[in-house]
Structure 1
């Protein structure tokens, strides 16, 4: 079994957090010893871990600023990280990159310690560079490419993402395409089981109308305003749009689109409630301008929800061939104005799309497949690791 030092995020909630928690839990269930190193000031009220206990599998590093997008560590964080790695003595360091200055220092640190270094690179992208947001994200890729070239392996979620990094100078042999995975036993249609009482409670709050759902960050790159504009123009009778999530645009959007056909659920911390929301939804909508590979999309697919997403990042690739409806990231509101009435009038279509989405998730995006690939990657790196003198 492998001893892993995992660098990632536990808060605030985002796709990076979901990826890190689900992956490390799955690795632990397979017998690997995983130490989770994350930014969480040890003396803050939210902290439940400390770097002072020798047998503590979690290590907290101090920070100055932490958001869903980036983290600025405290001046002493690098020293604490090094001390922690020297104490843990892992076989592998795996960094689920948090867009932090420490990301650029890890290659030197791990080389000095003689430990193989793996990264998972999450930032969203749009290979077509079709909007200003995509151009801004491209700068992140340009900034990171020289550092990523010095990692032993970089996990990306699709071949499209790999091609972007190769064009920026990251050697192809350093890249490993391992799509996100989802626990398809837990994220499953309600008929497969679950908490019936919780499901009923969520249904009561949603009401009797058919549920169209967005779940994710409320930020510019998610393009939720386009969805809201289209919904206001169509106002599909008998349907309700539910917005689950938080972010910098929540206040502005909620003030501008606070009509009866839209339910602002807010941030939902409880995993089982998020699963119940997906199970209650008939249609999941993801209007993003840029993406990586959306975990929320995979979760919706696994629960058998009809999925509508843009072709940003790898999301179009996930739904291609009939597993969902793929929109262009350009002109989302116009496309949705045409599509929403069809979805309203064709419940047989949404049921079939949900069935196909579930099947696609089972075939390609099970969490177990993801963990198999990560274990194989670890094995390859450890097999080629130079023996200690």
Structure 2
């Protein structure tokens, strides 16, 4: 059995990865997900996955989270305990002291610049020390991109006994219909500073000046919504920019022409993967794992709105120039097989 410790309850971010793996299964292992009550747990149950809810999120505190993981490990006696996201990584390392279970973590969110996620230098140093310490107990670390693996090695210094393997997020290919030209531009991202959605709006403003038929759909929620609405109003784009909140991203991308994503950092973006799988164009910053998904021609500087607009226009009006998913990119099944291979390496 593999016990996955996931400290989030909503359907954003890592939940997509959890749902995909639960849907396919890890060959040779029964998967049980331990997460807080909420939409993720409900969706897992609806899909027939094994899920146990417990107070294991940051809002529950360290003591309760460690106790909940320790209880689950004692009750289920899994062969491997697999944590996701920083909170669960540290809590699980503490909770499994004395357990015979193999300890694995998947790194979804580490950046070259620590301030992207941690905000202050002192918090960054504390996080680095915590992760360096917990990796002394880890049997394996799964990185979702080669860029993520490089950051793990540079910042957290895993020891020689800790296996580091790259297993990208898997995505199933869909039949790509013949896509007509179009300038329906979309952003699918949390409305937070590190996602730079405001830069996407500024680039769209340049595009709209040239191509009045262009329109922008901004999907996502977050604290930056008010500032974003103000920017849209300031630029006079209220009639052509829609902020639609949380939506089914693959469904939106299947209807869109070009995704624009100007983040400070991405590890292995499901938005980019879904865009390419559905025949949608994609324009993104050259950060993290983006260059492992997109060709150089689709990578842009966030602070050059004209260049971003140029690339959006090129891909929108000439569908033949839109990037394609690499033939070697793993499907969901292949991703799960690679996870099983990691488990085999650690004796689980």
Q: TM-score range by the shorter chain?
A: 0.7 to 0.9
- Flag structure 1 segments of 5+ consecutive residues without an equivalent: 50-55, 193-207, 384-389
Distance 1:142 1:182 in 2: 34
CA drift of 1:108 comes to 4.2
Q: SS at 1:257's partner residue?
A: helix
2:73 alignment partner, one of 70, 85, 94: 85
State the Cα distance separating 1:343 from its structure 2 match. Answer: 3.7
How far apart are the structure 2 equivalents of 1:5 and 1:297? 29
Q: Residue 119 of structure 1 aligns with which residue?
A: 105
Q: Is the contact made by 1:7 and 1:37 (CA closer than 8 Å) also made in structure 2? A: yes
What CA distance in whole angstroms lies between the structure 2 residues aligned with 1:123 and 1:241?
A: 27
Match of 2:46?
none
| Deviation at residue 241 of structure 1 after TM alignment | 0.8
1:181 and 2:170 correspond: yes
Distance 1:10 1:135 in 2: 18
Deviation at 1:184, TM superposition (A): 2.2
Equivalent residues in 2 for 1:207-286, closer than 5 Å: 210-235=183-208, 236-258=211-233, 259-268=238-247, 271=248, 274-286=249-261
8 Å contact from structure 1 (residues 10, 21) kept in 2: no
Q: Which has the higher contact order (CA 8 A, sep 6+)?
A: 2
Q: 1:377 aligns with which of 339, 342, 346?
A: 342
**SS at 1:288 equivalent:** coil
Aligned equivalent of 1:76: 64
From 24, 29, 32, the equivalent of 1:35 is 32
Q: Equivalences for 1:32-181 in 2 at 5 Å? A: 32-40=29-37, 57-62=50-55, 71-73=59-61, 75-97=63-85, 99-100=86-87, 102-125=88-111, 127=112, 129=113, 133=116, 136=119, 139=124, 140-141=127-128, 143-168=130-155, 169-171=157-159, 173-181=162-170
Task: Verify: 1:340 aligned to 2:328, yes or no.
Answer: no
Displacement after TM superposition at 1:48 (Å): 5.3
Using structure 1 for the length normalisation, give the TM-score: 0.75
TM-aligned CA distance change 1:167 to 1:46, over 3 Å: closer
What do residues 145-175 of structure 1 show as CA deviations (whole Å, max 9, x unaligned)?
A: 3322421101112222222222232236521
Distance 2:309 2:178 in 1: 26
> Does 2:23 align with 1:25?
yes
Say whether the 8 Å CA contact 1:36–1:59 is kept in structure 2.
yes
* Cα distance in 1 between the residues matched to 2:71 and 2:339: 26
Task: After TM superposition, give the deviation of residue 213 of structure 1 in Å.
Answer: 0.8
Alpha-carbon distance, 1:74 to partner: 6.7
Deviation at residue 314 of structure 1 after TM alignment: 0.9
Q: After superposition, what is the alpha-carbon deviation per residue over 1:328-385, rounded to whole angstroms, capped at 9, x for unaligned?
A: 3xxx142x32342454366453x1233x423x2x4214222211211111112126xx
Structure 2 spans left out of the alignment, 5+ residues: 44-48
Distance 1:226 1:24, change over 3 A: same
**Match of 1:203?**
none
Superposed CA RMSD in Å reads 3.1
Normalising by structure 2, we get a TM-score of: 0.83
Aligned length, in residue pairs: 330
How far apart are the structure 2 equivalents of 1:86 and 1:115?
10
